[in-house]
Amino acid sequence: MILDKFRIDGKVAVVTGANTGLGQAMCVALAQAGAKVCGVARRSCAETQAMIEKDGFVFKEIIADLATTEKIPFILESVKEAFGRVDILVNNAGMILREDAENVTEEDWNRVISLNQNVVYFMCQAFGKEFIAQGSGKIVNIASMLSYQGGIRVPAYCASKSAVMGITKALANEWASKGVNVNAIAPGYMATNNTDNLRKDKDRSEAIIDRIPAGRWGTPEDMSGAVVFLCSQASDYVNGFTLAVDGGWLAR
């Protein structure tokens, strides 16, 4: 049955940035689809854990700061110690700093690139080795509309998210034949803590909504179907693609 292909029963999934927003919603979705979920964050994932465990699903918290690549071996070993294997990686942790391009400091540039680009690549590398060895695995990188567009006052974010799309394609080219699917999701304007200031600005918020064909901000739950699809057997012949979940923003 076709719906069975969307089940991920018994799989072990790792989601970074799991304590709030998009990461939290994707953790819940993957758990509901049958996975054992490891949520990685630098702060407590207690809320995410409670949301998952109240329905009888399995969640493990891993506290790790992904400002650099230093904690990647610890994350991988923690997952394997808890569950013996890993099948899915969702690279969701990221940051955005808004500043006029002429005023961006090298320090701030490097902070954004380190988390959004370097950590994503080396997480893919570390987990990809596991997936290649076992002959299967799913990687979903969280890109952005700014993987396609330039944005305003976010040059480092734009550069890093453009890189995420490129990394996704490059790894898919090498790993698709080895049973590893590498894809990405590009969220649109989502109602999360990253967009608080934009949503509080009435004029800016209305301008954004006016440009979205769906006529609303996205919600973290809008990511659920896309991430389950890309982590399931249903997407076995999808490789190197970045799926926009944006209410039609890119179609305008």
Q: Which two tokens stand for residue 145?
A: 């509309």
Say whether 157 is catalytic. yes
- 121, 148, 157, 189: the catalytic one is 157
Spatial contact of 218 and 244, defined as CB atoms under 8 Å apart: no
Q: Which two tokens stand for residue 107?
A: 């320090």
What Rg value do the Cα atoms of the chain yield, rounded? 17
Write out the catalytic residue numbers.
Answer: 157
